[in-house]
């Protein structure tokens, strides 16, 4: 067991940090004010620096590095803001991974390299009005009719909804109940029969537009099938990596907050001295650092244990759950330590607190992760519906 990053990993992390800190803070502030996501030009610039598709094979346009390398880059971007980091998230751990792993060759080659080059944004549409935590209750139907798949139904809370160029849509593809009937289909934005609801006004996640998706006899070619009915388990395995990305985004809110606040408490003077001289402030900083280090180690463990494939459900759930919880706590402390400046929208601190809250709901609520963890402990899934 070696807790040190390799020279190459350290160099990649430093390059991501230098670019993110040098280029992105004013853009993040503008995104926060306008609510508009990063432009295609900026995303293409990320690609030209090699920050997209870090862990996607070179043959598909990525850098061909590991999950840990991707998460190192993601944390550095996420420290600046969730919105500027979101294209990195999508290209390294997002729904494109399900396409990369499971889609037929033609679809894979059409989509994955264009995500890595920044030309294409692909979002994930799983949740529905009546299927959130109980995802296997989803009712959006995808029916194979000859050479076409026809979708009908409504999706909710899709990050990128209305903005992304295409969607990985989880849908019911057979009459089998629950998970057994679920598969996934790739649907380009311009497909007839797909329309979008109004942009949601969320507590945070400014610059990550979110909306409903409406499918009304929306037909795509049969080659757009990513997995047929019965593929839900495989989709969820790919989702274990997304969980590590979600955990890293949460971690980045906390670690970015601590970096800023460590500077602030040494500059801000009260009672004639820098506030870092007060022991209560020192203890708070130490508690923040302990939580951040622990979250980072859990995430890195999940990524390293998955060297040969995807992280395990247990590792990724433990990492997500812990990072989600400490991010809310640490960013809350950071707001407090900056006093009125922490609460002001002129500074990035209160935004980190709002975004942290979202990461603990997106990708499966914290308590659902805990149910997964308990299930792994006792070696069986708990039936959330019937009596146990």
Ligand X SMILES: Cc1cc2nc3c(=O)[nH]c(=O)nc-3n(C[C@H](O)[C@H](O)[C@H](O)COP(=O)(O)OP(=O)(O)OC[C@H]3O[C@@H](n4cnc5c(N)ncnc54)[C@H](O)[C@@H]3O)c2cc1C
Residue 273 has which token pair?
């001295």
Site for ligand X in 192-251 (CB under 6 A): 202, 205
* 369 part of the interface to ligand X, by CB under 6 A: no
Token look-up 């506030």 returns 275
Token look-up 């610039």 returns 45
* Beta carbons within 8 Å of 380's beta carbon, 6+ residues apart: none
Nearer to ligand X among residue 102 and residue 357 (C-beta): 357
CB atoms within 10 A of CB 4: 7
Nearer to ligand X among residue 315 and residue 355 (C-beta): 355
* 35 part of the interface to ligand X, by CB under 6 A: no
**Of residues 253, 7, 281, 236, the one with CA closest to residue 135:** 236
| In the complex, least distance from residue 14 CB atom to ligand X, rounded to whole angstroms | 30
| In the complex, least distance from residue 136 CB atom to ligand X, rounded to whole angstroms | 12
Q: Which stretch binds ligand X (CB under 6 A): 136-144, 186-194, 268-276, 360-368?
A: 360-368
* 362 part of the interface to ligand X, by CB under 6 A: yes
Q: Which stretch binds ligand X (CB under 6 A): 7-15, 59-67, 153-161, 273-281?
A: 153-161
Nearer to ligand X among residue 16 and residue 348 (C-beta): 348
Nearer to ligand X among residue 46 and residue 359 (C-beta): 359
Q: Which residue is nearest to ligand X (CB)?
A: 132
With beta carbons less than 8 A apart as the criterion, state whether 133 and 365 touch: yes
d(CA 76, CA 62): 19
Site for ligand X in 45-84 (CB under 6 A): none
Q: Nearest 5°: phi and psi at 200?
A: -70, 145
Nearer to ligand X among residue 15 and residue 361 (C-beta): 361
Nearer to ligand X among residue 144 and residue 375 (C-beta): 375
DSSP states of 241-307: HHHHHHHHHHHHHHHHHHHHHHHHHHH-EETTEEGGGSHHHHHHHHHHHHHHHHHHHHHHHHHHHTT
* Beta carbons within 8 Å of 101's beta carbon, 6+ residues apart: 234, 238
| In the complex, least distance from residue 124 CB atom to ligand X, rounded to whole angstroms | 5
* 157 part of the interface to ligand X, by CB under 6 A: yes
CA angle 277, 81, 317 (to 5 degrees): 90
* 358 part of the interface to ligand X, by CB under 6 A: yes
Nearer to ligand X among residue 153 and residue 275 (C-beta): 153
Token look-up 């997500």 returns 320
- Cβ burial of 108 (10 Å; 0-12, 13-18, 19+) is middle
| In the complex, least distance from residue 156 CB atom to ligand X, rounded to whole angstroms | 7
Q: Which stretch binds ligand X (CB under 6 A): 56-64, 152-160, 267-275, 309-317?
A: 152-160
| In the complex, least distance from residue 290 CB atom to ligand X, rounded to whole angstroms | 26
* Chosen residue from 365, 373, 375, 376 binding ligand X by CB under 6 A: 365
d(CA 21, CA 25): 6
Site for ligand X in 116-145 (CB under 6 A): 123-127, 132-133
Q: Which stretch binds ligand X (CB under 6 A): 151-159, 288-296, 303-311, 320-328?
A: 151-159
* 300 part of the interface to ligand X, by CB under 6 A: no
DSSP states of 87-155: HHHHHHHSTHHHHHHHS-HHHHHHHHHHHHTTS--EEEE--BTTBSSSGGG---EEEEETTEEEEEEEE
Nearer to ligand X among residue 216 and residue 367 (C-beta): 367
* 374 part of the interface to ligand X, by CB under 6 A: no
With beta carbons less than 8 A apart as the criterion, state whether 292 and 330 touch: yes
Enumerate binding residues for ligand X (CB under 6 A).
Answer: 123-127, 132-133, 157-159, 202, 205, 358, 361-365, 367-368, 371, 384
């Amino acid at each position: 067991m070696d807790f040190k990053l390799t020279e190459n990993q350290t160099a990649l992390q430093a390059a991501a940090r230098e670019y993110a800190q040098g280029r992105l803070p004013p853009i993040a502030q503008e995104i926060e004010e306008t609510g508009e996501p990063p432009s295609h030009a900026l995303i293409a610039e990320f690609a030209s620096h090699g920050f997209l598709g870090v862990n996607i094979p070179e043959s598909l346009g990525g850098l061909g590095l590991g999950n840990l390398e991707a998460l190192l880059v993601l944390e550095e971007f996420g420290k600046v803001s969730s919105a500027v980091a979101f294209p990195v998230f999508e290209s390294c751990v997002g729904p494109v991974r399900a396409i990369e792993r499971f889609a037929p060759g033609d679809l894979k080659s059409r989509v994955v390299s264009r995500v890595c080059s920044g030309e294409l944004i692909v979002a994930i549409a799983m949740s529905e009005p009546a299927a959130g935590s109980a995802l296997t209750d989803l009712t959006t139907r995808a029916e194979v009719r000859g050479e076409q798949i026809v979708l009908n139904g409504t999706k909710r809370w899709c990050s990128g909804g209305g903005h992304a160029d295409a969607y990985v849509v989880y849908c019911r593809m057979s009459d089998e109940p629950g998970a057994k009937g679920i598969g996934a289909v790739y649907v380009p934005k311009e497909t007839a029969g797909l329309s979008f609801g109004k942009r949601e006004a969320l507590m945070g996640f400014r610059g990550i537009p979110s909306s409903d998706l409406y499918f009304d006899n929306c037909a795509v070619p049969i080659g757009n099938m990513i997995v047929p009915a019965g593929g839900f388990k495989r989709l969820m395995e790919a989702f274990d990596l997304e969980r590590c990305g979600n955990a890293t985004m949460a971690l980045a809110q906390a670690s970015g907050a601590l970096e800023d606040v460590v500077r602030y408490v040494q500059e801000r003077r009260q009672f004639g001295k820098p506030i870092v001289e007060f022991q209560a402030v020192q203890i708070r900083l130490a508690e923040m650092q302990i939580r951040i280090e622990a979250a980072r180690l859990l995430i890195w463990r999940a990524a390293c244990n998955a060297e040969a494939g995807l992280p395990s459900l247990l590792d990724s759930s433990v990492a997500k759950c812990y990072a989600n919880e400490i991010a809310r706590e640490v960013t809350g402390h950071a707001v407090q330590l900056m006093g009125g400046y922490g609460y002001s929208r002129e500074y990035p601190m209160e935004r980190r607190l709002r975004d942290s809250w979202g990461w603990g709901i997106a990708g499966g609520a914290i308590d659902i992760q805990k149910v997964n963890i308990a299930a792994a402990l006792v070696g069986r899934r708990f039936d959330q519906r019937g009596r146990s």
